[in-house]
Structures are given as structure tokens and as C-alpha cells.
């Protein structure tokens, strides 16, 4: 794997061999009016892209420059080593670049003002235009905020691939990830960092992503349910169940749909997926049809021969209880299981799908 960056002269061979350094170009005309110029900082406007010619495959963007052994760098030695350790798991000879989102040192999310964001976003877009990366990793909150132009909720975008375009028209794929410093400070975060990095590289650069194929039966009438219900009533196959609701309050909100998927517990092979609209505004079922659907759901949930697998089962079962589903046997909760298996990672259904089916696009 080759590293693409520019060095300043350093008397420290250890540092020089470890990490890319940032070149100091002095105050830039694009910084005019930036509040950072009035801040008491070691220096201003550290640009690392102006003489960059060859494109890179991967670009890691940190928050702002840090001083190490008299030189500025995007990542500290331990942070850089964490990145290198994960990249070494792949055999590809990728060109890798490193840069900062903010071009002045010592800028954090606490002192990142609107004026600094506005000025540095210009430099950041220039950086991407010069590097022309195939994949960008935005490491931490500052880098993510600069790329998107506003703060984003980490849980909704972390590890997710998005397509952005610079002002000059350069299109690039970006994946927000935690900053490697979070791994240095708390080693338990290594799983999140490794998973996000590995999934993005496999799917975006190595082309391993595939569209998920989920065949399902949508029953809109009693007759359509009668054609398949025997598969679900007395089966020994496990039943994966998910409900969609209009909100979180089981006393006031309603169930849109209930889906059930048959699963062979020994092989993991999927059987039929059945989707039943209940109080869905587009289905407009009559009371008789809805009553038959709920009676079927009661029978399926009361089956003692199989396991009922739900995500955050307590939430779903409260809604089902309100709709008359009283007897439920052999409940398994994937959220609780994830608490026992990996306590330190997010446990939403979207997160679990991302962890365990990373190459499938839904």
C-alpha cells in the first residue's frame, strides 16, 4: 500500500518514517474574514494539497492539525497506526491520502464557529478536488460537519456511504466514521472503527455489495391469506417478526403492517415472508378482513413449536397486546442478544443489519 502525502523537513527520522506531515503555505486569500485568523493559534492556514497531482483511492480527513515533535500532522502516531493496522488487513495497493477538515490547528467542535466552517469548507472542497479520492473517510464530528455543511446525528450517518459534490463539481463517496483517537482513548471502540472501515472498503472499492433479494407475499384479502397461512400456523420453523407503527405510543398509535418470515434455525435458510397490512392508510381493510388477519397473527404467535424472534420485543409486544394478541410463546429478542454479545456497539435494527449483513443493500 502506498502513501500519498507531502513532507516537511524533519530532524526526527522516527516521525518522518511514521506519518505524513502537513506543509505550511501561509495565510491564503480564501481565508479572508475567517474568525480563526483572530484566534491565538500556533499558526494559521496549513494547506496540504496545493502541489498534489496524482489522485488517491482513499482520503482520511481528520479534524484539525496537531503538533507532534515540532511538526503539524493530521493524525497523531497512535491514530495513524490504528488506520494503518486496519488497512493492512487488505492486500490491495491503494493510494492513501491524509488531510484535515479545518486548515488551522487546534480547532475542535467546541470552537468551530459558523465563520470558520464557511471559510474552511472552501479549502476542504479544494482538497477533494486535488486528491480526487474514490472514497473519503470523515473521521469525527468536525470533519463530518465540514463536509455536510451542518451537524449530523452520528447514529444516523456513521458508517453509511453518501455521495457528495464539491463546488467545483467533483463527486465523491464519503463515509463518516469515529475518529481513531476514540479507539486510542477507549479500545472497545475498535470494533466500530474496524467494521465501518472494512464494510466501506469491501462495498465501495472492492465491489462486494449486492442487492438484497427478499421475496415476500403481500396479503390484501382473506383469500390471499388462506393460500399461505398453513405454512405459519403449526410450523417448527422459527418466525422472525417485525411490525411498523405510526409512532412510539402503543396506547395512541396504530400498527401499519406486520411481517413474518420463516427461518430454518439449523441452516439459516429463509422460507416465505408474509406481510399483512393492519391499519395502513393505503390498504383500507374492512373490519372483517382485519379481524381475520389479527386472528391469524394470534394463532401464529401462540405456536409452542417454534421461536418468535423480534427486535426490541417489548415494544412490538405492547402493540400486539393492544390488538388482542395475548398468548405469545418462546420469544427471543435480538436487541437483548446483542447486549449480551457486544455490549459496546449500537443495537438498533438498522445497525444489526449493517453489522451482520454488511454486503447486502436493502
Give the CATH number, domain containing residue 92: 3.40.470.10
Residues 117 and 264 placed together within one structural domain of the fold? no
pLDDT at 26: 52
Classify 60 as helix, strand or coil.
strand
pLDDT of residue 67: 84
Q: Do 164 and 42 share a domain, yes or no?
A: yes
**Last residue of some domain: 185, 208, 231?**
208
Flag whether the pTM goes above 0.85.
Answer: no
67 and 131 in one domain?
A: yes
Answer yes or no: do 41 and 170 share one domain: yes
HSE-CB of 268 using CA atoms within 13 angstroms: 0
Question: Looking at 208, 242, 268, which one is the last position of a domain?
Answer: 208
| Domain identity same for 33 and 82 | yes
Q: Name the domain boundary from 176, 208, 240.
A: 208
Mean pLDDT for all residues in the chain: 85
* Residue 362, pLDDT score: 53
Task: Looking at the structure, tell me whether residues 155 and 178 fall in a common domain.
Answer: yes
Q: What is the pLDDT of residues 65-110, one digit of tens each?
A: 888 888 888 999 999 999 999 999 999 999 999 999 988 888 888 8
**pLDDT at position 210:** 60
DSSP 3-52: E---PPP-S-HHHHHH---PPP----GGGTT-GGGGS--S-S-----TT-
Residues 186 and 313 placed together within one structural domain of the fold? no
Please check whether residues 184 and 323 belong to one and the same domain. Answer: no
Same domain, 55 and 115: yes
Distance CA(113)–CA(141), nearest Å, equals 13
Which CATH number characterizes residue 329's domain?
3.30.420.10
Asked whether residue 316 falls in the same domain as residue 298, the answer is yes
Query: Which domain, by its residues, includes 35?
Result: 2-208
The domain total for the chain is 2
Low-confidence residues in the chain, pLDDT < 70: 1-28, 48-53, 209-214, 359-362
The reply to whether 287 and 178 lie within a common domain is no
Distance from C-alpha of 187 to C-alpha of 189, rounded to nearest angstrom:
5
For residue 258, the model assigns a pLDDT of 96
Same domain membership, residue 48 and residue 126: yes
Amino acid at each position: 500500500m502506498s502513501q500519498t502525502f507531502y513532507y516537511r523537513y524533519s530532524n526526527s527520522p522516527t516521525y518522518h518514517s511514521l506519518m505524513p506531515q502537513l506543509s505550511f503555505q501561509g495565510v491564503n486569500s480564501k481565508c479572508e474574514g475567517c474568525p480563526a485568523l483572530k484566534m491565538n493559534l500556533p499558526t494559521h492556514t496549513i494547506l496540504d494539497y496545493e502541489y498534489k497531482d496524482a489522485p488517491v483511492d482513499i482520503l482520511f480527513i481528520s479534524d484539525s492539525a496537531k503538533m507532534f515533535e515540532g511538526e503539524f500532522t493530521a493524525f497523531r502516531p497512535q491514530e495513524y497506526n490504528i488506520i494503518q493496522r486496519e488497512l493492512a488487513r487488505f492486500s490491495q495497493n491503494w493510494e492513501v491520502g491524509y488531510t484535515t477538515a479545518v486548515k488551522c490547528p487546534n480547532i475542535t467542535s467546541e470552537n468551530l464557529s459558523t465563520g470558520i466552517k464557511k471559510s474552511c469548507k472552501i479549502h476542504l472542497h479544494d482538497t477533494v478536488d486535488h486528491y480526487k479520492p474514490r472514497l473519503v473517510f470523515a473521521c469525527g464530528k468536525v470533519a463530518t460537519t465540514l463536509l455536510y455543511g451542518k451537524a449530523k446525528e452520528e447514529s444516523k450517518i456513521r458508517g453509511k456511504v453518501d455521495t457528495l459534490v464539491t463546488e467545483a463539481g467533483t463527486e465523491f463517496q464519503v463515509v463518516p466514521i469515529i475518529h481513531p483517537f476514540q479507539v486510542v482513548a477507549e479500545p472497545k471502540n475498535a470494533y466500530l472503527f474496524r467494521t465501518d472501515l472494512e464494510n466501506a472498503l469491501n462495498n465501495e472499492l472492492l465491489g462486494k455489495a449486492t442487492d438484497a433479494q427478499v421475496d415476500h407475499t403481500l396479503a390484501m384479502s382473506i383469500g390471499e391469506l388462506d393460500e399461505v397461512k398453513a405454512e405459519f400456523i403449526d410450523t417448527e420453523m422459527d418466525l422472525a417478526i417485525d411490525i411498523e407503527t405510526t409512532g412510539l405510543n402503543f396506547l395512541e398509535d396504530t400498527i401499519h403492517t406486520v411481517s413474518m418470515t420463516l427461518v430454518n434455525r439449523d441452516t439459516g435458510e429463509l422460507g416465505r415472508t408474509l406481510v399483512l397490512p393492519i391499519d395502513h392508510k393505503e390498504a383500507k381493510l374492512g373490519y372483517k378482513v382485519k379481524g381475520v388477519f389479527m386472528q391469524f397473527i394470534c394463532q401464529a404467535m401462540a405456536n409452542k413449536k417454534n421461536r418468535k424472534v423480534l427486535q426490541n420485543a417489548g415494544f412490538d409486544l405492547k402493540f400486539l397486546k393492544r390488538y388482542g394478541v395475548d398468548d405469545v410463546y418462546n420469544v427471543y429478542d435480538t436487541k437483548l442478544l446483542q447486549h449480551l454479545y457486544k455490549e459496546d456497539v449500537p443495537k438498533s435494527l438498522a445497525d444489526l443489519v449493517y453489522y451482520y449483513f454488511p454486503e447486502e443493500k436493502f
